[in-house]
């Protein structure tokens, strides 16, 4: 198998192919998507197809009702699986060479397998059972489901977990660090930096669970989904039961009702789940961008790095901007997949086949988004002085606390009184405390309000951040 990690080990140097690449995934960002390359590339698709064809042949051989095909020995079974598991880039190139003659990519895979088996004494007699009763979509839908499942389990979910762990650590670190909140862009009841980050952790955890739990359906039921050819050849075999066992043996969820194509509703669900995760990440990128602008966070300065071509003082939030852009590209594609793939004319057309080949592009941009976001988070440090200064200039946010305590003790028109005091007026510590001092409140309640500052008015934010 080719070494897909070379680019990531030597990131500074760009090959001519990378410099001339049409897609940044194969150019500027090539090393950052190496983990997806053996899954979603043309090679990855061919390898998945070979696996499905091989496992189908093995399943047929193990079925007693298919009397013309005898069960294979352990050695022959091992040779077949070695063909699939050890498929090389050179083998995939041979498939593409065959395809130049067949002008059919799945048929080319069938011919490669037959080519490799023709001189095997035990396996050669089984040649005509390769691709038996299958339509191309039987192989394709299972292949794409295997690819998506592998990408989800081995790449996307681990990277999401890495992001969640980083954010959780930040939530705990800054659990008690007060921060002025803003609703509608206006000063609002304070929170803590950690609690705001904990909110994101909770959102990502929930959507990650939905991504992990999304079913990955597959079907193998013939040209229009009715087992027509299967039953014509072997009417005694329970083909739906056989199909179910086979699909589930691949680690996929059986789809019993289809036209020629698996309807792709499961892929749409998976894409929607990834899109929601990406959207949460965009939301986070924009918020942090704003907090950097306000000075709530500082960014580590990298030696030699330039923030602006004309303004030397700038340390731009480029990682968060890069992440937002890549998540946006990913979501544009994921949205198209979710809207288009469940639609096919009559029993099938080939628009889905065309679109499915771009799956790797969407997940590649999402992966780059994760990488950029993590890189940005690792450069951040909180700025307590700036956070405290904004809080100290915003004593009006205590109006919520004061009017709520007034309500408890039955004072008249608390909301209206605080509105008159605070709305459109500058409020200082002195004016707020003078107002509190004039209230007819129990001594303990009054003192609690007098002791309160914008920085201490954080409710259970500290606890909530630590419990995430």
Q: How far apart are the first and last CA of the chain?
A: 42
Give the CATH number of the domain where residue 105 resides: 1.10.275.10
User: Span 451-457, mean pLDDT?
Assistant: 98
Residue 21 falls within a domain, yes or no?
no
* 3-state secondary structure at position 175: coil
167 shares a domain with 111? no
Contact 338, 273 (CB under 8 A): no
pLDDT at 365: 98
Residue 442 falls within a domain, yes or no?
yes
Residue 443 falls within a domain, yes or no?
yes
Catalytic residue among 184, 309, 313, 381: 184
Domain boundary among 99, 116, 132: 132
Is the pTM value of this prediction over 0.85?
yes
Please report, for residues 11, 117, 328, 443, the alpha-carbon distance to residue 28 in angstroms, rounded to integers and kept in the order given: 9, 41, 17, 66
H or E element at residue 382: strand 380-382
Picking from 338, 330, 334, the residue whose alpha carbon sits closest to that of residue 370 is 330
pLDDT in tens, 58-98: 999 999 999 999 999 999 999 999 999 999 999 999 999 99
Contact 397, 180 (CB under 8 A): yes
Residue 22 falls within a domain, yes or no?
no
Cβ-proximal residues to 183 (8 Å cutoff; 6+ apart), any chain: none
**DSSP β-ladder status, 178-183 and 186-192:** antiparallel
353: annotated active-site residue: no
215 shares a domain with 333? yes
Residue 341 falls within a domain, yes or no?
yes
Domain boundary among 98, 132, 166: 132
* 3-state secondary structure at position 409: coil
Give the CATH number of the domain where residue 196 resides: 1.20.200.10
Catalytic residue among 23, 308, 409, 456: 308
pLDDT in tens, 139-152: 999 999 999 999 99
174: annotated active-site residue: no
Contact 139, 131 (CB under 8 A): yes
Contact 411, 465 (CB under 8 A): no
420 shares a domain with 337? no
Lowest-pLDDT choice from 26-40, 268-282, 366-380, 403-417: 403-417
Residue 24 falls within a domain, yes or no?
no
170 shares a domain with 91? no
Task: Show the domain range for 463.
Answer: 394-467
pLDDT at 324: 98
How many domains in the chain? 3
Phi, psi of 426, rounded to the nearest 5 degrees: -75, 130
Domain boundary among 101, 132, 163: 132
Q: Which residue has the tokens 């954080």?
A: 458
């Amino acid at each position: 198998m080719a070494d897909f990690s070379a680019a990531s080990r030597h990131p500074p140097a760009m090959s001519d192919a990378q410099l001339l690449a049409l897609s940044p995934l194969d150019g500027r960002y090539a090393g950052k998507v190496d983990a997806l390359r053996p899954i979603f590339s043309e090679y990855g698709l061919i390898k998945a197809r070979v696996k499905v064809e091989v496992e189908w042949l093995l399943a047929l051989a193990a079925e007693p009702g298919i009397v013309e095909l005898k069960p294979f020995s352990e050695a022959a079974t091992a040779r077949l699986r070695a063909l699939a598991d050890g498929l090389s880039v050179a083998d995939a190139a041979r498939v593409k060479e065959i395809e130049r003659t067949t002008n059919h990519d799945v048929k080319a895979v069938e011919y490669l397998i037959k080519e490799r088996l023709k001189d095997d004494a035990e396996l050669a007699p089984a040649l005509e059972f390769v691709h038996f009763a299958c339509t191309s979509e039987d192989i394709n839908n299972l292949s794409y489901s295997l690819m998506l499942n592998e990408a989800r389990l081995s790449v996307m979910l681990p990277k999401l977990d890495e992001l969640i762990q980083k954010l959780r650590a930040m939530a705990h670190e800054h659990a008690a660090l007060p921060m002025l909140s803003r609703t509608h862009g206006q000063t609002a009841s304070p929170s803590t930096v950690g609690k705001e980050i904990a909110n994101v952790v909770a959102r990502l955890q929930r959507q990650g669970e939905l991504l992990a739990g999304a079913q990955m359906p597959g079907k193998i039921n013939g040209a229009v989904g009715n087992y027509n050819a299967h039953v014509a050849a072997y009417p005694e075999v329970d083909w739906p039961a056989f199909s179910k066992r086979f699909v589930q043996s691949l680690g996929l969820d059986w789809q019993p009702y289809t036209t020629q194509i698996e309807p792709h509703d499961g892929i749409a669900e998976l894409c929607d789940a990834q899109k929601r995760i990406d959207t949460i990440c965009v939301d986070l990128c924009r918020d942090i961008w704003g907090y950097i602008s306000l000075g709530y966070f500082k960014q580590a300065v990298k030696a030699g790095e330039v923030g602006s071509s004309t303004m030397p003082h700038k340390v731009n939030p480029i990682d968060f901007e890069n992440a937002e852009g890549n998540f946006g590209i990913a979501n544009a594609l994921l949205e198209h997949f979710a809207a288009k793939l469940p639609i096919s004319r009559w029993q099938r057309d080939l628009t889905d086949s065309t679109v499915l080949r771009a799956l790797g592009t969407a997940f590649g941009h999402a992966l780059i988004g994760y990488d950029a976001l993590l890189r940005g988070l690792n450069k951040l440090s909180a700025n307590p002085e700036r956070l405290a200064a904004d809080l100290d200039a915003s004593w009006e946010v205590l109006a919520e606390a004061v009017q709520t305590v007034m309500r408890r003790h039955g004072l008249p028109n608390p909301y209206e009184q605080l509105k008159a005091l605070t709305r459109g007026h500058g409020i200082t510590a002195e004016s707020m405390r003078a107002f509190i001092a004039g209230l007819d409140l129990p001594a303990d309640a009054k003192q609690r309000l007098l002791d309160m500052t914008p920085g201490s008015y954080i409710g259970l934010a500290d606890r909530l951040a630590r419990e995430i």
